[in-house]
Structure formats: C-alpha cells, structure tokens
Amino acid sequence: MLSDYDEVPDSWQDESKLSANIRLWSQIAPMFTMPVAGELCTSSLGWESVYYLHGIVTIALFTVFIVYHRNAPTKHPLVKPKELMKVMFGKGSIYSGPGKQRVSKKVPYAAMYKDPAIWAILVAAFGNFMGTQLSLQFMPTYINKIVLVASTCILGFNSGGFFKSSQMVSRQHSHFTLANIAFVNCTCMLLTPLLSELIAPDNTPETWSIVLCLHGVILLTTNAFFCVFGSARPASWTFVSWSRKGSHVKPIQPNRQKIYDLTPDRPKIDAKL
C-alpha cells in the first residue's frame, strides 16, 4: 500500500492536493485506533477484541480499495471521456521530438543508488521514522513513568518532505524508492526499542532525556542532509530515448529535455469541455 502514496498522485490530476489527502489519513487513523483500543481493552470484550475489530475494518477497507482502485484513470470504468481529458491534462506526457522518446519502465537500480537525491530521501526517512517509532512504541511508557513534554517538540523536526521528493525525483520508478523507504521504516522499528532499552532501562528522567536528545540530534542531522542533497526535479535516469542505430537506449540529458507548456491555453480548453 505504501507504493500508492506516489503511484496514485502521479496518475491522477492535482498531485499536491491528492498527495496531501492520501497522507492525511495516516494521521487520522491513530485518532480512531487509540481511543477505540483503550475502550475495548478496559471493557468485558478484552484486549483481543482490538485485533479482531481492526482486522475486520482493514479487510473491509481493502476490499473497497480492490473493487474501485485503478492504477490509471484510463483504466477506470467510471471515468468518462470528458473527465479523462481534464484528468490527463498537463500530466507531462507530451514531449518534443519525432515521437521516439518514451518513458523508461526498467528500474535503473545502479543509477538510483548513485543519485544523491535518492540518498537524501532515505536519510530523511530514517530520521523521520526514528522519531515517529519512538513516540508510537514508547509513548505510554514515558507518559506513565516520566511525563515529559519535550517529546512533542521533537516531532516538530519531522522531515516528511521526502515522501513528495521521492515522487518528483523517481517519477515512474517511485515504487522502488518507496520500497526502500519501507525497509528504512522496518529498520527504525527494530532499532528504536533497542536504543531505548540500552539507554533508559530504568525509565528515569535522566536516561530518558538522553534518549530524547539523541533522537532530536538524529532528526536535525537527517533533515539537514535532506535540505542539502534533496531535489524536486525528475532525475536524468527517469527519461530515455531510442538511438537511431538500433534498440540501444540512452539517457536524455536534463538540459535537452523540452516539455510543451500548455498552461496559457488551459482556459480555452476548459471552456470547450
């Protein structure tokens, strides 16, 4: 499901608003989970009911997703031709040239791992998930034992821009970048409790201050790395062109890319539609 964070906004219109709406639900979901789980744990149903309820909700939502979701608006049966024209307008599919340019579908693994912008995304993801996993896994502990407020301030250093950058830099290969981000998230999920247990085994204010300061340093450092090496432009390896000598594929240089800007004609097109 994480790959749809970039796949869906890349195929449908108004990427900024759609990306914001998709990521908004990752913040809304805990607002449902936390209070409902607390009530069920203290009820006669027991803590087992928390897993049953969330399992049922997950299956229901995933079923709706399977039934209605399509990777592209051209494949959706409910999208009419008039709506399709509006959705596909300005999606970057019209390029200059004799029609021999095409978007590469083969994932350039070596080129992606050599790109500083990709590493900036992964480093920022590491800092982000180190902070979020600390709160998700240990919030009950340090609220119950320490009652600190500084933890809320640490989340202010959240370097969440890497999600949008992964889409803009990787384009059609963003699913591979999201797979790496998911791997980073799993790594942080295992690393965060290990650090917390090693540094603050007794849950004292002094040891927890070290934990929070450490995560604050990680967030600041990774966010600074992203600010330096991050990018918002498609990488050169997201475009390829066919050589006239045969089927050899070569990358298009960024300074040779030319995309027609049809924005001035948008009012006329909308009026005709």
- 119 close to 127: Cβ distance less than 8 angstroms: no
pLDDT digits (tens, 9 = 90+) for 14-25: 555 666 666 667
Q: Which domain holds residue 121?
A: 98-257
- 137 and 36, same domain (yes or no): no
- 63 and 179, same domain (yes or no): no
pLDDT digits (tens, 9 = 90+) for 26-67: 777 878 888 888 888 888 888 899 999 999 999 999 899 888
- The count of C-alpha atoms lying within 13 angstroms of the C-alpha of 231, restricted to the half-sphere facing its C-beta, is 14
Number of domains in the chain: 2
| CA gap 190, 213 in Å, rounded | 19
- 64 and 105, same domain (yes or no): no
- 38 and 108, same domain (yes or no): no
Please enumerate in sequence order all residues whose Cβ is within 8 A of that of 73, keeping only pairs 6 or more positions apart, or say none: 11, 12, 79, 83, 84, 87, 88
- 56 and 126, same domain (yes or no): no
Which residues pair with residue 241 across a beta bridge?
101, 250
In a domain, 213, yes or no: yes
- Average of per-residue pLDDT values in the chain: 73
- 132 and 190, same domain (yes or no): yes
Predicted TM-score of the model (pTM): 0.58
- 63 and 125, same domain (yes or no): no
The yes-or-no verdict on residue 201 having pLDDT over 70 is: yes
In a domain, 175, yes or no: yes
pLDDT digits (tens, 9 = 90+) for 118-174: 999 899 889 888 887 887 777 766 666 665 554 444 444 454 578 778 878 888 788
The pLDDT of residue 207: 86
